[in-house]
Structure 1
């Protein structure tokens, strides 16, 4: 829980009693590789904080191809927040691509923090903005050539290359796994 509290305190101040309340509302869970944190067609029911591991956001395009949209690593919130708040069905999957340890908050517990802690909404809004920015900002620009997209991936996600399957990186970049292998060989 220490990592979560450090993360929260970057966005505002809490006293010991408030910190203890936040801790009491969170629950530690484990996700095995390939398990889903949330699924398309279902209403997201929780907000998570990744203590260890990597989760990817993905969806299926109109051809039925799986597209990886983003990667979310340690010390980050993970949630399909727009659908979580609106209690509407998600159109994407949030899937563990490594074994993950998370601290999760149910919708009820997340909302209770807003009712009990003065200033929580301000802290929460900053955390959610960063979460949404991280999920949206790092998508590759398809008009760039594949090598440039891969180099940007390495810059944006320097620790992921050896931790996640290359097929997910290829999907994220919009190239085949074979093309990604050639790109990697050419830049070594």
Structure 2
């Protein structure tokens, strides 16, 4: 939990007492590699902080083709926001790509913490803004950039992700086939 505490201290001035109260509502959950964190049709009940590991979120069409829509890495808050905030079933699958350790807080506990501690409301807003900014930048990149530029953006933002994620998932994330991504990687190396 120390990584989350460090992260939050960089974002907000959280007192030791507020941290003690807030952190007491988190539970640790360890997932083996290649395990579902969430399946389509289930409701997201937790806001989680990735202490260690890597997750992939994807959609599956009627022909079982997968489209990767995002990743969560160590040191980030994450959840399927559309399900978490609406309390409706998720359209997305979430799976671990490596053994993953999460510190998670249940939706109901988070709502109580929002009411009880004003600093937690700020933390929630900042976590949501981080996720929305990432998604907004990705959306804009699909409208304004080439696949090669999207790959380079990903490389510049999270270079270690490219060593940890299989090529087919990276290709899906930037909107190309694995073969096209191989050609892009050859061209820029």
Tell me, yes or no, whether TM beats 0.5.
yes
CA 1:82/1:149 → structure 2, altered by over 3 Å: closer, same or farther?
A: closer
1:147 counterpart residue number: 148
CA 1:85/1:150 → structure 2, altered by over 3 Å: closer, same or farther?
A: closer
Count of residue correspondences: 188
Q: Does 1:78 align with 2:69?
A: no
Query: Which structure dedicates a bigger proportion of its chain to helix?
Result: 2
**Is the contact made by 2:54 and 2:71 (CA closer than 8 Å) also made in structure 1?**
yes
What are the superposed Cα offsets for residues 94-153 of structure 1, whole Å, 9 maximum, x if unpaired? 221222111111122222212322332122112222123224423552664433332222
Separation of aligned partners in 2, 1:178 and 1:66:
16
CA 1:175/1:118 → structure 2, altered by over 3 Å: closer, same or farther?
A: closer
CA 1:149/1:124 → structure 2, altered by over 3 Å: closer, same or farther?
A: closer
**Is the contact made by 1:72 and 1:135 (CA closer than 8 Å) also made in structure 2?**
no
**Is the contact made by 2:42 and 2:90 (CA closer than 8 Å) also made in structure 1?**
yes
Note the residue ranges of structure 2 that are not aligned, 5 or more in a row: none
* Secondary structure at 2:163 match in 1: coil
Using the size of structure 1 for normalisation, the TM-score is: 0.88
Q: Does 1:102 align with 2:68?
A: no
**Is the contact made by 1:57 and 1:95 (CA closer than 8 Å) also made in structure 2?**
yes
Q: CA RMSD in A?
A: 2.1
